[in-house]
Amino acid sequence: MITIHKYFTSILDTISDGVFISDAAGTTLYVNRMYAQLSGMSETELRGKNVRELVDEGVFDRALNPEVVRTGKPATYMQKLKDGKNVVISGVPVFDEKGRVCLVVTYVRDETRLAQLNEQTGEQRRQIKEINDKLAFVAKSQGRDLEPAFTSRAMQEVAAELQRYAVTDATVLIMGETGVGKDVFARMTHRWSKRKDKILLKVDCGGISETLTESEIFGYAPGAFTGASSKGKPGYFEIADGSTIFLDEIGELPLSMQTRLLRVLQDNEIVRVGSSQPRKVDVRIIAATNRNLEECVEAGTFRRDLFYRLNVGTVRIPPLRERPEDVRVLAEYFLRQFTAKYRKKMTFMDITLDMMTRYRWPGNARELQNMVHSLVITRQGPMLSPRDLPSAISGLRDEQGEPLDAVLMRPRPLKSVMADMEREFLRRAIEVHGSIRKVAEMFQVNRSTIFRKLHGENDKTNEGKQS
């Protein structure tokens, strides 16, 4: 059987803290290897010397032994060694069979090393928090707008094409005007891919300052620039390793960045800023832009070779004005979304949806989404009529031909304004439905009431005529 006391000193030498053992009188009995390193003196030099003597010689500035022997309790102090190094010392009493302090075991820890460990831990916590924040944002955004709403043949063809690309690892380039829903279809493509169980990390290439773009996307090596972390930092490509990265508005990338992105596409590797060591990454790229990249290539603002690398699986999402049949389904989709959020019950009149369908929507689906959002917040419902729409969409105007939005800025009796709105609304309704009878049935009023309102007659006048 192995006897532990035979290996006592070897065991103490494995401890990462310094160990200093003295008797009740303060005579040094033993120091381990770490204490010898901290003090700069060997065990032979220290053994047999009294702690008070060591204080006088300047080996350290304060002795803990007398305090522990006097009180019989553990104590902790800050001690300065002869080289100026600050250490934390903790003394623990050892009692004999009569209950008297016979030994004092002092543990010594380098404060500088503690500070370094704290700094490393703090930096690791900061990096973990930063990555977690990015992943939390990604997780939050993963749940938004996952199901595009469309019924047009053009969009069905777009979806079918993206589905074909999705099952491969080919780079996908989604083109289209601002607001058509490029990010929605990018998320859908990721959801159809083999990497669907991993994150889709979105990078807004137009939203990062040019001075930070390179380090944000590719990361940087320790001390790469003023203010850089001493531990370096992973970039978006490293965070998205094994998954998909969505480069939104890729046409905004500066030329210097385009060169580095080309390397990722060609060699599947990145190089951190300030480093020459390449790192392999396994990332599937989906890119989107509202620019005509071919024109950008001719203008010299976009690399031709990068365009060819991106132009593998390319789709164009048509603007909303080219697919008016999608307006109705999108409007109803957004209405369900926002009424659920605000716990309201609302529905569109058919004539309201008809008017929305005829509008050109220069801001595309995003403009439609924002308008529906505004309606849900500002209107009480339950029926959303043409008069609830902005006049640019409804076309409703007053007797002088002014849009109703402008009428709101001109002092007039409210009764007169409402009469004009009703009259214009009824005229448009008759145009859409073809007869006063159908309009009367739809809005549950008498035909005589419609005649009266069309001719601007008030209730008293009409009553007089009827009598």
CB 439 within 8 A of CB 432: no
pLDDT computed for residue 422 by the predictor: 80
CA distance 52 to 438: 110
Q: Tell me phi and psi for residue 195, to 5 degrees.
A: -100, 20
**What is the pLDDT averaged over residues 382-405?**
72
CATH architecture type of domain 322-394: Orthogonal Bundle (1.10)
* CATH top-level class of 143-318: alpha beta
Among all chains, which residue has been given the structure tokens 């490509």? 237
Query: Can you name the residues that pair with 80 across neighbouring β-strands?
Result: 86
What are the start-end ranges of the E strands in 290-376?
313-316, 347-348
For residue 121, what pLDDT is reported?
Answer: 65
**Which residues pair with residue 403 across a beta bridge?**
397
Kindly report the average pLDDT of the chain as a whole number. Answer: 84
pLDDT grade, residue 467 (50/70/90)? very low
Whether the CA torsion 147, 148, 152, 153 is positive or negative: it is negative
The letter for the amino acid at 268 is N
Domain with CATH 1.10.8.60 in the chain: 322-394
CATH 3.40.50.300 residue ranges for the chain:
143-318
Say which CATH architecture domain 4-114 belongs to: 2-Layer Sandwich (3.30)
Q: Does position 21 have pLDDT exceeding 50, yes or no? A: yes
Check residue 286 and give its pLDDT: 96
Tokens 């609830």 correspond to 388
- Distance (Å, rounded) from C-alpha 187 to C-alpha 72? 68
Helix (H) / strand (E) containing 176 = none
Residues near 39 by Cβ (< 8 Å), separated by ≥ 6?
18, 31, 46, 59, 60, 81, 82
pTM for the full model?
0.59
- Summarised one tens digit per residue, pLDDT across range 32-59 is 999 998 888 888 899 999 999 999 988 8
Residue 143: the pLDDT is 46
Cis status of the peptide bond prior to 382, with omega within 30 of 0: yes
Per-residue model confidence (pLDDT) at position 314: 96
C-beta separation of 393 from 374 below 8 A: no
- Confidence band for 297, pLDDT divided at 50, 70 and 90: very high
Q: Measure the CA–CA gap between 356 and 394, rounded to whole angstroms.
A: 7
Neighbour count for residue 240 (Cβ, 10 Å): 26
**369-390 average pLDDT score:** 90
Higher-confidence residue of 93 and 423: namely 93
Give the position of tokens 């770490």.
Answer: 34
Can you list the alpha helix ranges (DSSP code H) found in 346-413? 350-358, 364-378, 391-394, 404-407
Distance CA 254, CA 213 (A): 9
C-beta separation of 397 from 430 below 8 A: no
Structure tokens at 360: 């050109």
- Closest to 364 measured CA to CA, from 203, 187, 184, 189: 184
Q: Which of 376, 282, 260, 364 is nearest to 319 (CA)?
A: 364
Give pLDDT tens digits for 95-122. Answer: 999 999 999 999 998 876 666 666 666 6
Q: What digits encode the pLDDT tens for the residues 148-161?
A: 789 999 999 999 99
**3-class DSSP assignment, residue 222:** coil
Whose tokens are 């543990």? That residue is: 107
At 341 the pLDDT is: 92
pLDDT score recorded for residue 123: 61
